[in-house]
Amino acid sequence: MKYKNLMITLYYKVLFMSRQNPVRPGHPGGQLETLQEISDIKRIMERSSRFISLSGLSGIAAGLCALTGAYFANNILTDYYFEYNHSGYTDQNFESLKFKLLMVAGIVLAAALILSFIFTWRRAKQNHLPIWDLTARKLMWNILIPLISGGLFILAMLQYSEWRFVAPACLIFYGLALVNGSKYTLTDIRYLGYMEITLGLVNTQFTGHGLYFWAAGFGILHIIYGVLMWWKYERQPVKVNSH
Partner 1 sequence: MTYMKNPINGLNKVFDNRIRLGVMSVLMVNEEISFNDLKQMLEVTDGNLATHLVNLEDNGYIKVHKGFIGRKTNTTYAVTKAGEKAFSDHIAALENMIKGVK
| Sites of contact with partner 1 (CB under 8 A) | 1, 3, 6, 10, 13-14, 17, 20, 22, 24-26, 31, 34, 37-38, 40-41, 44-45, 47-49, 130, 133-134
Query: What SS3 string covers 113-167?
Result: HHHHHHHHHHHHHHCCCCCCCHHHHHHHHHHHHHHHHHHHHHHHHHHCCCCCCHH
Nearer to partner 1 (CB atom), residue 31 or residue 182: 31
CB contact set of 215 (below 8 Å; sequence gap of 6+): 66, 67, 70
**Residues facing 51 on adjacent strands:** 185
Q: How far is the CB of 127 from partner 1 (least distance, A)?
A: 14
Nearer to partner 1 (CB atom), residue 16 or residue 89: 16
Q: How far is the CB of 136 from partner 1 (least distance, A)?
A: 11
Q: Which residue type, as a one-letter code, is found at position 234?
A: E
Instruction: Give the DSSP letter of residue 184.
Output: G
Nearer to partner 1 (CB atom), residue 131 or residue 220: 131
- C-alpha to C-alpha distance for 221 and 217, rounded to whole angstroms: 5
Q: How far is the CB of 38 from partner 1 (least distance, A)?
A: 6
Q: How far is the CB of 13 from partner 1 (least distance, A)?
A: 5
Nearer to partner 1 (CB atom), residue 43 or residue 98: 43
Q: How far is the CB of 31 from partner 1 (least distance, A)?
A: 7
Nearer to partner 1 (CB atom), residue 40 or residue 234: 40
Cβ contact 141:130 at 8 Å = no
